[in-house]
Amino acid sequence: MEELKRSAEAGDADAQYRLGIWHEYRYREADGTEEDERQAFRWCMKAAEQGHAEAQDHLGLMYDEGFGVHYDGIKAAEWYKKAAEQGNMYAQHELGRRYAVGEGVLQDHAKAARWIRKSAEQGNKAAQMDFYYTHVDVKDLPKNDTEAVRWLDTLYQQEALNLYSVIDSYMRKFERSAEKGDADAQYNLGALIARALINRPNHAEAAKWFRKAAEQGHTDAQFRLGNMYEEGLGVPQDYNEAAKWYRLAADQGNADAQYDLGRMYIHGTGVTKDVEEALRLYRAAAAGGVADAQYDLGYIYERGVHVPQDDAEAFKWYRMAADNGDAVAPMCIAFMYIEGRGVPKDVTEAIRRFRALAEQGNVMACSFLGWRYYYGEDVPQDDAEAAKWLRLAADADDTFAGLIFNTYRENGGDPGNDVDAVRQYRERSEQNSENDT
Instruction: Select 1-132's CATH number: 1.25.40.10, 3.40.50.2000, 3.20.20.370, 3.80.30.20.
Output: 1.25.40.10
Give the whole-angstrom CA distance, residue 302 versus residue 227: 29
Contact 374, 422 (CB under 8 A): yes
The model's pTM is 0.65
Q: What's the whole-number average pLDDT of the chain?
A: 86
pLDDT value for 246: 98
Residue 210 neighbours by CB distance under 10 Å? 31
Tens digits of per-residue pLDDT, 73-118? 899 999 999 999 999 999 998 998 888 778 888 887 778 878 888 8
Segment 125-139 mean pLDDT: 56
pLDDT value of position 4: 81
Q: How confident is the model at residue 192 (pLDDT cuts 50, 70, 90)?
A: confident
User: Which is higher by pLDDT, 199 or 98?
Assistant: 98
pLDDT higher than 90, residue 207: yes
Predicted confidence at residue 166, as pLDDT, reads: 62
pLDDT surpasses 60 at 142? no
d(CA 75, CA 56): 11
Q: Quick check: 8 pLDDT over 80?
A: yes
pLDDT of residue 143: 58
Question: Is residue 134 very low, low, confident or very high in pLDDT (cuts 50, 70, 90)?
Answer: very low
Burial of 272 (0-12, 13-18, 19+ CB in 10 A): exposed
Query: What pLDDT score was predicted for residue 214?
Result: 97
C-alpha closest to that of 300 among 286, 320, 279: 279
How far is it, in rounded angstroms, from Cα 324 to Cα 346?
Answer: 23
Instruction: Decide if 227 contacts 255 (C-beta within 8 A).
Output: no
> What ranges make up the beta strands (E) of 184-264?
none
Between residues 172 and 278, the one the model is more confident about:
278
pLDDT at 430: 78
Which of 189-198, 209-218, 321-330 is predicted most confidently? 209-218
CB burial of residue 143 (10 Å; 0-12, 13-18, 19+): exposed
Quick one: pLDDT at residue 436?
62
Question: Which sequence spans correspond to the domains of the chain?
Answer: 1-132, 135-216, 382-437
Contact 51/378 with Cβ under 8 angstroms?
no
Mean pLDDT of 54-64: 92
Assign 161 to helix, strand or coil: strand
Instruction: Return the closest-CA partner of residue 247 out of 108, 370, 272.
Output: 272
Q: What is the pLDDT of residues 305-350, one digit of tens each?
A: 999 999 999 999 999 999 888 989 999 999 999 999 999 999 999 9
Residue 28 binned pLDDT confidence (cut-offs 50, 70, 90) = confident
